[in-house]
């Protein structure tokens, strides 16, 4: 810390606190040019901030005053000297939502305490977006007054040049630019007249006496509601389980509906699009800080972002075709290189299904193409017997029939050996998705039985998530045999 800066911060603190400075401690660097210091007096403390970007300072200080005025939990601003690029704010301690989450999760998993904190954060997010939106001075926004086409293209090109190129993911430049424009057209058709926090994630939420306080909103601007929810729920290293994401998403929509009418279908139509662009923005930041600036700790979040992207490709549907961008997303998901940064240990999901060959082999259209299809037609067929025709592999009578057949037992032992080898390999390499499909003539008896057996065995013997579906049963096909 240079002497001039120390003198300036000390003088500002002493004018505010009316007591001398005892010591100043430099705080951990953030992913920006701002510098933070904890300043101690005899009875008071404050956080001293130095930021040479005057417009960013004005945005933060203006927003802080407004948020405080509508009783949102943000740090108090104690004093400022913008001509010296410094200000003092309330000391909210060192516990972020992310650090609390990490410590609690190590002991108790994604516990009720964590979920309750996230629910409090969700409730305040709605207030930031809707309540605080009224009367907010958007003229101080920096660098743009809204999350508009220019902002989106900046993020997408940041992703292209600082992540795709440096991670050596191939793409056709013109085709990708065309998809970027189409994607922006879609996102811009969402309602965008709300406060967009911009970086609403677990490291920007402080926990004080069990309650959330919010920092680092200087990049705020007008935008769509969906963006900040995507930022929070798809925060890479927070690694929120999908079922908890779904629960928190419903909590958000319930709270939003208390303040204004909500068309949930319309909201969700745009939501996944904003999740995609948020993940790309984050990857661009990780690439710039990690690949370009050689700050390797930023790359530790990459495997988690890739896992989130993979999950989206499995489950999210966008109402437009983006062939070049989808090809890039799939290239990221398939990359072993990107999954091995840091000490990430991602949880593998094994997707198991039964099917009928009459309707064709399932195609893994959204995953990385990994997995196996097993042909159960070589096994004894209960469907040939009248007493089993209307039953399925879920029924006890069919299970007993197949349990006693040695051919079935031998077949499943081979399947388990292959799947075990693949799961262990994927876990080492941080690949998070394995597909195993079982087919028979009608997709009713043998394939259902084998899929169930593999699912139960995996749950008992491996730390994996298992998704099980029976395609023909879902389709209610009465002709399956």
Given a contact cutoff of 8 angstroms between Cβ atoms, the answer to whether 33 and 76 are in contact is no
Supply the angle between the helices 97-108 and 112-126 in degrees, to the nearest 10.
150
Count CA within 13 A, CB hemisphere, residue 53.
16
pLDDT digits (tens, 9 = 90+) for 179-191: 999 999 999 999 9
**Token pair belonging to 434:** 């394995």
Residue 474: per-residue pLDDT:
86
Superfamily of domain 97-339: Aminoglycoside phosphotransferase (APH), C-terminal lobe (3.90.1200.10)
Residue 412: per-residue pLDDT:
98
Q: Which of 320, 328, 314, 301 is nearest to 430 (CA)?
A: 301
Residue 1: per-residue pLDDT:
72
As a whole number of angstroms, the distance between CA 78 and CA 88 comes to 5
- Continuous H helices in 189-301: 225-233, 242-259, 264-286
419 has a pLDDT exceeding 70: yes
For the chain, the domains span: 3-89, 97-339, 349-474
**Token pair belonging to 119:** 């629910």
Residue 365: per-residue pLDDT:
62
373 has a pLDDT exceeding 60: yes
Q: Which of 421, 419, 464, 470 is nearest to 442 (CA)?
A: 470
DSSP readout, 30-66?
-SSS-EEEEEE-SS-EEEEEE-S-HHHHHHHHHHHHH
Residue 346: per-residue pLDDT:
82
Given a contact cutoff of 8 angstroms between Cβ atoms, the answer to whether 220 and 196 are in contact is yes
Q: Which CATH architecture has domain 3-89?
A: 2-Layer Sandwich (3.30)
Residue 478: per-residue pLDDT:
44
Residue 315: per-residue pLDDT:
86
pLDDT band at 481 (very low <50, low <70, confident <90, very high): very low
pLDDT digits (tens, 9 = 90+) for 256-309: 999 999 999 999 999 999 999 999 999 999 999 999 999 988 999 999 999 999
Sign of the C-alpha dihedral computed for residues 269, 275, 278 and 279 taken in this order: negative
Mention every residue, 6+ apart, whose C-beta is less than 8 A from residue 311. 242, 432
pLDDT digits (tens, 9 = 90+) for 132-176: 999 999 999 999 999 999 999 999 999 999 999 999 999 999 999
As a whole number of angstroms, the distance between CA 300 and CA 396 comes to 48
Residue 479: per-residue pLDDT:
44
Across the chain, what does the average pLDDT equal?
94
Given a contact cutoff of 8 angstroms between Cβ atoms, the answer to whether 154 and 277 are in contact is no
Given a contact cutoff of 8 angstroms between Cβ atoms, the answer to whether 402 and 393 are in contact is yes
Q: Mean pLDDT, to the nearest integer, of 82-86?
A: 97
Residue 113: per-residue pLDDT:
97
On the question of a common fold for 3-89 and 97-339, the answer reads: no
Report which of residues 100 and 368 the model is more confident about: 100
What pTM does this model have?
A: 0.82
Residue 292: per-residue pLDDT:
93
Report which of residues 434 and 60 the model is more confident about: 60
The pair phi, psi for residue 21, each rounded to 5°, is -75, 130
29 has a pLDDT exceeding 80: no
């Amino acid at each position: 810390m240079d002497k001039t800066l120390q003198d300036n911060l000390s003088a500002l603190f002493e004018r505010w606190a009316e007591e001398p400075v005892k010591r100043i401690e430099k705080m951990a660097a953030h992913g920006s040019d701002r510098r933070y210091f904890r300043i101690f007096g005899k009875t008071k403390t404050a956080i001293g901030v130095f930021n040479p970007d005057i417009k960013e300072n004005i945005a933060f200080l203006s927003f802080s005053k407004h948020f405080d005025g509508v009783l949102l939990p943000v740090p108090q601003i104690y004093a400022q000297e913008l001509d010296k690029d410094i200000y003092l704010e309330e000391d909210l301690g060192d516990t972020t939502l992310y650090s609390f989450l990490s410590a609690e999760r190590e002991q108790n998993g994604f516990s009720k305490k964590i979920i309750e904190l996230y629910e409090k954060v969700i409730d305040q997010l709605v207030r930031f977006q809707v309540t605080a939106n009224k009367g907010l001075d958007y003229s101080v926004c920096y660098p743009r007054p809204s999350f508009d086409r220019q902002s989106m293209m900046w993020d997408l090109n940041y992703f292209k040049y600082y992540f795709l190129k440096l991670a050596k993911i191939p793409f056709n430049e013109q085709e990708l630019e065309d998809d970027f424009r189409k994607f922006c057209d879609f996102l811009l058709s969402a309602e965008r007249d709300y406060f967009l926090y911009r970086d609403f994630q677990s490291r920007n939420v402080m926990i004080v006496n069990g309650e959330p306080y919010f920092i680092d909103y200087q990049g705020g601007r007008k935008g769509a509601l969906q963006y900040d929810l995507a930022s929070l729920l798809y925060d890479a290293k927070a690694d929120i389980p999908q079922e908890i994401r779904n629960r928190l998403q419903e909590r958000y929509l319930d709270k939003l509906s208390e303040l204004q009418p909500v068309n949930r279908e319309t909201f969700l139509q745009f939501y996944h699009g904003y999740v995609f662009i948020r993940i790309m923005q984050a990857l661009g930041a990780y690439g710039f800080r990690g690949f370009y600036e050689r700050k390797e700790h930023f790359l530790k979040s990459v495997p988690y972002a890739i896992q989130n992207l993979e999950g989206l490709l499995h489950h999210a549907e966008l109402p437009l075709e983006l062939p070049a961008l989808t090809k890039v997303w799939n290239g990221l998901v398939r990359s072993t290189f990107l999954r091995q940064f840091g000490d990430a240990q991602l949880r593998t999901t094994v997707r198991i299904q039964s099917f009928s060959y009459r309707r064709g082999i399932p195609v893994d259209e959204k995953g990385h193409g990994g997995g196996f299809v097993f042909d159960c037609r070589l096994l004894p067929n209960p469907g040939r017997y009248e007493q089993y025709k209307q039953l399925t592999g879920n029924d006890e009578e069919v299970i007993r029939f197949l349990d006693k057949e040695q051919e079935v037992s031998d077949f499943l032992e081979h399947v388990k050996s292959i799947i075990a080898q693949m799961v262990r390999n994927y876990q080492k390499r941080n690949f998070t998705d394995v597909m195993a499909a079982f087919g028979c003539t009608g997709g009713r008896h043998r394939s259902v039985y084998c899929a169930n057996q593999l699912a139960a065995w995996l749950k008992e013997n491996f730390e994996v998530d298992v998704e099980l579906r029976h395609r023909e049963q879902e389709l209610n096909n009465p002709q399956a045999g």
